[in-house]
Amino acid sequence: MTVIAASLPIIATSAGIVALAEIGDKTMLLAVLLAARYRQPGAVIAGILAATLANHALAAWAGAALAGWLAGPWFQLAVAIGFLAMAAWTLVPDTMDTAPQLANRGQAFMATTIAFFVVEIGDKTQVATMALGARFHDVLAVTIGTTVGMMLVNAPAVLLGERVLGLVPLALVRRLAAAIFAGLGLWLLWQLWPQLIK
């Protein structure tokens, strides 16, 4: 029980960061596209969950492994710079044309799982998951948190479709997410500064 309680701040932080980064992201737009195409919200949401769990578990593991292999202030500096780069990247809006065109064949679950897994490779939320894995060294908690964050955004996108895009002030959310990423990067730099000037 104490292990779970110790992981809750990591889960909450990961969920919040990824949820903010996901709003208006190409995978959210893909969720809207898939919901409109297949009209099977349960299957689409299950596909998003499966793809996110697989993709983010790998990303969190990669981040934690890199941090373990490259422990030291210079790697932590790279993580801090990565958060600052994420802040800038978050301000760039994605468009629907970045989503792949899917054939009408196959079941909604498989099409969604494959599409989401592929589109998430190198995406903002995957990079953020790697950075969180490197920062917290807790693959399970980061994977749970980032997956919760993705589902908090994408499940309503599937259920509400294009209406959700009109309800959410995407520019404001992008600026808020960028501020959080920048804050994390600057906080890490502040913590590292004494080690770097030695």
Q: Using one digit for the tens of pLDDT, what is the confidence trace for 6-43?
A: 789 999 999 998 998 888 777 888 888 888 778 888 99
CA-to-CA distance for 113 and 47, rounded, in angstroms?
4
Backbone angles phi, psi at 116, to 5 degrees: -65, -40
CA distances for 86 relative to 92, 99, 124, angstroms: 10, 20, 7
Q: Reduced to 3 DSSP states, what percent helix, strand and coil does the chain have, rounded to the nearest 5?
A: 85, 0, 15
CA-to-CA distance for 129 and 67, rounded, in angstroms?
13
CA-to-CA distance for 110 and 168, rounded, in angstroms?
28
- Closest alpha carbon to 174 in 108, 67, 113, 90: 90
Per-residue confidence (pLDDT) for residue 6, from 0 to 100: 75
Spans in the chain with pLDDT lower than 50: 96-105
Per-residue confidence (pLDDT) for residue 71, from 0 to 100: 59
Per-residue confidence (pLDDT) for residue 100, from 0 to 100: 46
CA-to-CA distance for 173 and 116, rounded, in angstroms?
22
Locate 161 and state its tokens.
């479709």
Per-residue confidence (pLDDT) for residue 105, from 0 to 100: 40
Per-residue confidence (pLDDT) for residue 189, from 0 to 100: 78
